[in-house]
Chains A and B, each alone.
Chain A
Amino acid sequence: DVKVTQSSRYLVKRTGEKVFLECVQDMDHENMFWYRQDPGLGLRLIYFSYDVKMKEKGDIPEGYSVSREKKERFSLILESASTNQTSMYLCASIVGGARREPQHFGDGTRLSIL
């Protein structure tokens, strides 16, 4: 069974801090995704990656960056955290090319920026 693990379930940081959210998958999936979940807005795509060292902007990339140095790990970086980045962050992965397969999600990180 696919396992997508997010490093923290809850995280509290201060405005201006550099924040790292980590995601690891154990199924050698090529594609990984970072979403942000807010009430009334559903899930919105921040960034995704097709392969190691490759990244693509999603719908709301402003204020975020990502890193994919190893296939199994996809990191989301808040360069200078702001209060409007308080949200739930979800990581997902899927094997490359299998578009009819579902994405597999982590349990989410609830991030609060004070």
Chain B
Amino acid sequence: AQTVTQSQPEMSVQEAETVTLSCTYDTSENNYYLFWYKQPPSRQMILVIRQEAYKQQNATENRFSVNFQKAAKSFSLKISDSQLGDTAMYFCAFMKGETSGSRLTFGEGTQLTVNP
């Protein structure tokens, strides 16, 4: 079974600064996908960024980037130039690559607050 761990229940950052959210996972799979989802107070789960395990290059989406360390089973999210709208709960998630069903395994979540 897969497990995903987010060791930071809460974090805060000043507007315009950079923050990094941590995520580690445990799996015996070699082919898988990793995701970061954002859940603002509106409760809508929004995909922030995804990473395929077979790709060595770290994914980036505008101000969001990941540091994917496959050997260490680490998948951290860096948010640059933080904005007030980035305030949300952030979830790290794992998906196996080979099985059908596409089920996700989530971490516990990190509540990020961006302060003005």
Contact = CB atoms under 8 A, between A and B. Distances in A.
Contact of B100 (A41, A43, A96): A96
Contacts, number: 59
Interface in B84-116: 91, 95-97, 100-109
A38 B64 CA distance: 26
Interface in B27-74: 33, 35, 37, 42-45, 47, 50, 52
A102 B37 CA distance: 9
Nearest to A45: B103
B35 A102 contact: yes
A108 B39 CA distance: 11
Interface string A88-103: 1010101011111111
Contacts of B100: 50, 96-97
B103 A33 contact: yes
A41 B91 CA distance: 11
Interface of A: 31, 33, 35, 40-45, 48, 50, 56, 58, 88, 90, 92, 94, 96-103, 105, 107-108
Interface of B: 4, 6, 9, 33, 35, 37, 42-45, 47, 50, 52, 91, 95-97, 100-109
14 contacts: A31-B101, A40-B108, A42-B6, A43-B106, A45-B105, A50-B100, A56-B101, A94-B102, A99-B96, A99-B97, A100-B33, A100-B50, A105-B45, A108-B43
